[in-house]
Structure 1
Amino acid sequence: MGNLRSVAKAVEHVAPDKSVIISSDKNEIANAEHVVFPGQGAARDCMRELDDRNLTQVVLTAAKEKPFLGICMGMQVLLNHSEENDGIDCLGLYEGNVRFFGKDLKSDKGEKLKIPHMGWNGVDQTVEHPLWHNIKNHSRFYFVHSYYMDPQDKNLVAATSDYGIEFVTAIAKDNVFAVQFHPEKSAQDGLQLLKNFTQWNGK
């Protein structure tokens, strides 16, 4: 969904000793040591692609069994539902909804904020995690999105950001880590996060 090649190039850059494959082959995904699940665009299109390629189950299995990194749409569809386009059921790995920022979003100074939320924003780490290694708290990352994740289990939350409202920027549980921002577009801190992921054993 959109940013596969740029993500792959970024991972190749930080892990030159690893074999990085862009794949829709179930066996290749099942045999991978780590899985990156990136995406941008619409949740409905993402779910349709997964269904059409018979990848839904292999993605869910990977998210339960090996180091798994969701990026942007690849984070959002881990919940069971999105408000986008009158509603769409997603992967349902975690309970919760993906919500629209709203048309009348305003800053704390009363200024109207543009949707989509696009550009650099600070990320407040709320838990210690191996993927935050060598990344200072409140570092800035690059975002492009109109919807945000609202998980039912607040213990999933690994970071938040502010854009008129406080929203979930990252989640972490067991072998899964997922982020709303695009690490592949986030300069050195984004590359550090990707490097941390390639070295992470999922624990």
Structure 2
Amino acid sequence: MIGILDYGCGNINSVIRMIQKLGGTATKVSTAQEITAVDRLIIPGVGAFDHGMQQLHDRELLPVLEQFALQDKKPVLGICLGMQLMCRASQEGSLPGLGWIDAQVRRFQSTPERPLKIPHMGWSEVDVVKTNPLLQEGERRHRFYFVHAYKVEAACAQDVLATADYGGTFVAAFQRENVMGVQFHPEKSHQFGFGLMKNFMAEAV
């Protein structure tokens, strides 16, 4: 059973429908008891960093999430804001993140030399840079749908799973053991999103 964390910030129904189309079973989870009962967890998210972290604090979910990810080591996937919350901190806010990945979240910068439309919105190619449970290395280049104004900067290159380019290379996905995060939206990415989600569903617990 896959749990989709409902903390007031995510595009939950689209993720559930994708899993159902793949023949899997998913359910919304919002309490410690519900989270403990699932085999793997997806943390979706749209919106501001501090709002997302405050929701987790207010719902008293931080201890059970840490138990699930860091002690029980069950597969966890963060999507968009969910990925950013796994980092240490974000320029978007002042609250500390979950800190599961040694990374910072910084805003895209537009310069006269490299003008950018912010947020980064639309389809971008993604390059896989290491062996991982989500994206096949045999097909090095994938295309996913992005909507974000902030990007992840990882301190450890070994945590970087895939990169993309928008005014320079940025981390499109990371992975450390059972903790995985993607900046793009698999639920909006058609065949590539289905492939990634199918791999996550098959990830060993």
TM-score in terms of structure 2 length: 0.89
Matched, 1:69 2:77: yes
Are the aligned partners of 1:142 and 1:186 in contact in 2 as well (CA < 8 Å)?
A: yes
Q: Which amino acid aligns with 1:76?
A: Q
Matched, 1:137 2:140: yes
1:60 Cα shift?
2.1
Matched, 1:147 2:150: yes
SS of the residue corresponding to residue 174 of structure 2 reads strand
Matched, 1:51 2:57: yes
Correspondence for 2:39 among 25, 33, 41: 33
Q: Which amino acid aligns with 2:172?
A: T
Could you say which residue in structure 1 is the equivalent of 2:121?
118
1:72 Cα shift?
0.7
Q: Which amino acid aligns with 2:86?
A: L
Correspondence for 2:181 among 164, 175, 178: 178
Cα deviations across residues 115-160 of structure 1 (Å, max 9, x unaligned)? 0000000000001222113872221100000001112122100000
Q: Percent of aligned pairs with the same residue?
A: 40
1:149–1:136 Cα change, 3 Å: same
Are the aligned partners of 2:114 and 2:167 in contact in 1 as well (CA < 8 Å)?
A: no
Are the aligned partners of 1:135 and 1:192 in contact in 2 as well (CA < 8 Å)?
A: no
SS of the residue corresponding to residue 134 of structure 2 reads helix
Cα deviations across residues 142-190 of structure 1 (Å, max 9, x unaligned)? 0000001112122100000000110001111111221100000000110
Runs (5+) with no aligned partner, structure 2: 1-8
Q: Which amino acid aligns with 1:154?
A: A
Are the aligned partners of 1:143 and 1:182 in contact in 2 as well (CA < 8 Å)?
A: yes
Cα deviations across residues 77-119 of structure 1 (Å, max 9, x unaligned)? 111111004x331111122210011243x7xxx5622000000
Structure with the bigger RCO (C-alpha within 8 Å, sep 6+) is 1
Aligned residues: 195
More displaced 10-residue stretch of structure 1: 35-44 or 87-96: 87-96
Matched, 1:6 2:24: no
Correspondence for 2:105 among 98, 105, 117: 98
SS of the residue corresponding to residue 103 of structure 2 reads strand
SS of the residue corresponding to residue 140 of structure 1 reads strand
Could you say which residue in structure 1 is the equivalent of 2:190?
187
SS of the residue corresponding to residue 21 of structure 1 reads strand
Distance in 2, Cα, partners of 1:103 & 1:43: 21
Superposition RMSD in Å: 1.7
SS of the residue corresponding to residue 188 of structure 1 reads helix
1:38 Cα shift?
0.9
1:165–1:111 Cα change, 3 Å: closer
SS of the residue corresponding to residue 106 of structure 2 reads strand
TM-score in terms of structure 1 length: 0.90
Q: Which amino acid aligns with 2:78?
A: G
